[in-house]
């Protein structure tokens, strides 16, 4: 179910995608022939061709809007707070390296990621944002990762929550403003009513830290978010928090780019394919201790 936006979902982009695929495959084969030992090298060989094809992005400095509150994906480096680190940061820089641009970072709230992009204050958003039809009205997405959510609860799971289901009836769920989990929890309201149980309530915050604090302070019973984020929170507070369960969410994580720049979208997509072909994507998943099952070949999600 969670694959509804991937390859089999849309004829609207299949031509472009398959064309790119072929080009990428060709590039990969070339790379394999010419530099068989460079699979994990910094700039895959196919990137040179892309830089020739898309010279307009070469040597540019682009702005990446991020919500740097998700350790493992994007957060400041505790050892050097002037740097942002994480899987998304590395992936973005690998794509930038492939196309010849560098990135600077603009930290905004989660809800402001796409408005910042739309207003031109940022060029790209690589910030663990799920590509939904709704969000695709504001930006084009290049999806690159499957989504597994974890259900964070207080140690011992006092409310016996087993997932986004009627076990959440009457519970208080902390979420960030704009998160896809918000409508999923809201969708439980009629189910709970039908079952004669109290409705779940939502508490909206601005970042992960606040959601986690809400559980630690006893204000919220659960926080459903990316499983890695949940694992990190449990690791930081092993005697107070636990992961009740991991659930599948029917979305993909995507890189957001402006709707009015299709050449940039296609260039990023092509570069991502190169990065994946070079093995960099999987290497980065391993580096940041993320589940290799997250890996997903890229697609474009674009709606009018």
Partner 1 sequence: MSLFVHYLSLPYLIEGIWFTVAVTALGLGGGLILGLVLAAMQLSRFAVLAVLARGYTVIFRGTPLILQMVFAYDALPQIGLKLSAIGAAGLALAANEAPFIAEMLRAGVLGVDRGQVLAGQALGMTPALLMRRIIAPQAIRTMIPAFGNETVSALKNSSLASVISVQELTLRSTQLASSTFDFFSIFFASGLIYLVLTSLVSVIQLFVERALDLDRVAPQGRLAIFLPWRRVDLQTKAKLAEQTAPTAPPHSLLPEMPAPRPTSRSDRAKHAAMVERNNVAVEVTGLHKNYGEQTVLNGVDLTVRVGEVVALLGPSGSGKSTLLRCINHLENWDSGMVRVGGRRLGHSDDGRKLTPRAIANERASVGVGMVFQQFNLFSHLTARENVAGPLRWVHGWSRTDADRRAQELLERVGLSHRADALPRHLSGGQQQRVAIARALAPNPSVLLLDEPTSALDPELVNEVLEVIRRLAVDDGLTMIISTHQIRFADEVADRVAFLSGGSIIEQGPAHQILSNPQHPATARFLSVMEADKAPESTS
Specify the DSSP class assigned to residue 219.
S
Q: 112 CB contacts (<8 Å, ≥6 apart)?
A: 65
Least distance from partner 1 to the Cβ atom of residue 120, Å:
5
| SS3 assignment for 4-64 | CCCHHHCHHHHHHHHHHHHHHHHHHHHHHHHCCCCCCCCCCCHHHHHHHHCHHHCCCEEEE
Are the CB atoms for 281 and 144 separated by under 8 Å?
yes
Judged by CB under 8 A, the stretch of 40-48, 111-119, 127-135, 179-187 that binds partner 1 is 111-119
For the chain, helix, strand, coil in percent to 5 are 40, 25, 30
CB atoms within 10 A of CB 239: 6
Judged by CB under 8 A, the stretch of 11-19, 75-83, 190-198, 290-298 that binds partner 1 is 75-83
Least distance from partner 1 to the Cβ atom of residue 10, Å:
30
Q: Which residue lies nearer to partner 1 by CB, 65 or 271?
A: 65
Site string for partner 1, 167-206 (x = CB under 8 A): ---------------------------------------x
CB atoms within 10 A of CB 247: 18
Q: At what angle do helices 14-34 and 46-53 cross, to 10 degrees?
A: 130
Tokens of 74: 């994007």
Residue tagged 């630690």 (tokens): 216
Are the CB atoms for 150 and 5 separated by under 8 Å?
no
Q: Round to whole Å and give the CA distance between 149 and 129.
A: 13
- Up-side HSE of residue 119: CA atoms within 13 Å toward CB? 7
In the region spanning residues 268 to 297, those forming contacts with partner 1, defined by CB under 8 A, are none
Q: Which residue lies nearer to partner 1 by CB, 28 or 73?
A: 73
Which residue in the set 51, 70, 143, 222 belongs to the binding site for partner 1 (CB under 8 A)?
70
| Binding-site size, partner 1 (CB under 8 A) | 32
121 binds partner 1 (CB under 8 A): yes
Least distance from partner 1 to the Cβ atom of residue 233, Å:
7
Q: Round to whole Å and give the CA distance between 9 and 82.
A: 41
Q: 157 CB contacts (<8 Å, ≥6 apart)?
A: 242, 244
In the region spanning residues 29 to 68, those forming contacts with partner 1, defined by CB under 8 A, are 65, 68
Least distance from partner 1 to the Cβ atom of residue 105, Å:
9
Q: Which residue lies nearer to partner 1 by CB, 241 or 275?
A: 241
Least distance from partner 1 to the Cβ atom of residue 23, Å:
34
Judged by CB under 8 A, the stretch of 13-21, 77-85, 124-132, 276-284 that binds partner 1 is 77-85
Least distance from partner 1 to the Cβ atom of residue 291, Å:
21
Say how many residues make up the chain: 304
Least distance from partner 1 to the Cβ atom of residue 158, Å:
22
Site string for partner 1, 87-106 (x = CB under 8 A): -------------------x
Site string for partner 1, 205-244 (x = CB under 8 A): -xxxxx-xx-------------------x--xx-------
Q: Which residue lies nearer to partner 1 by CB, 9 or 62?
A: 62
Q: Contact positions toward partner 1, by CB under 8 A?
A: 65, 68-71, 75-78, 81-82, 106-109, 112, 115-116, 118-121, 206-210, 212-213, 233, 236-237
């Amino acid at each position: 179910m969670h694959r509804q936006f991937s390859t089999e979902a849309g004829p609207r982009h299949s031509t472009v995608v398959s064309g790119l695929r072929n080009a990428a495959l060709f590039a990969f084969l070339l790379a394999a022939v010419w530099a068989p030992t460079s699979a994990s090298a910094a700039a895959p060989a196919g990137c040179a061709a892309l830089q020739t094809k898309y010279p307009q992005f070469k040597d540019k400095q682009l702005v990446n809007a991020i919500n740097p509150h998700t350790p493992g994906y994007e957060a400041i480096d505790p050892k050097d707070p002037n740097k942002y680190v994480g899987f998304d940061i590395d992936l973005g820089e690998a794509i930038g390296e492939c196309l010849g641009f560098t990135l600077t970072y603009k930290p905004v709230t989660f809800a402001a990621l796409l408005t910042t992009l739309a207003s031109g204050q940022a060029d790209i958003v690589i910030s663990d944002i799920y590509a939904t039809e709704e969000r695709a009205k504001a930006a084009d997405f290049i999806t690159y990762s499957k989504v597994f959510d974890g259900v964070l609860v207080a140690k011992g799971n006092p409310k016996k929550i087993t997932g986004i289901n009627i076990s959440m009836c009457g519970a208080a769920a902390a979420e960030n403003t704009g998160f896809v989990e918000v409508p999923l929890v809201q969708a439980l309201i009629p189910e709970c009513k039908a079952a004669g149980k109290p409705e779940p309530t939502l508490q909206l915050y601005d970042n992960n830290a606040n959601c986690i604090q809400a559980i630690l302070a006893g204000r919220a019973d659960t926080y459903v978010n990316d499983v890695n984020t949940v694992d990190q929170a449990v690791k930081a507070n092993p005697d107070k928090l636990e992961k009740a369960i991991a659930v599948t969410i029917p979305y993909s994580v995507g890189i957001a780019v402006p709707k009015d720049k299709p050449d940039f979208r296609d260039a990023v997509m092509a570069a991502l394919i190169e990065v994946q072909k070079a093995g960099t994507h999987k290497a980065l998943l391993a580096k940041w201790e993320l589940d290799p099952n997250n890996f997903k070949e890229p697609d474009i999600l674009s709606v009018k």
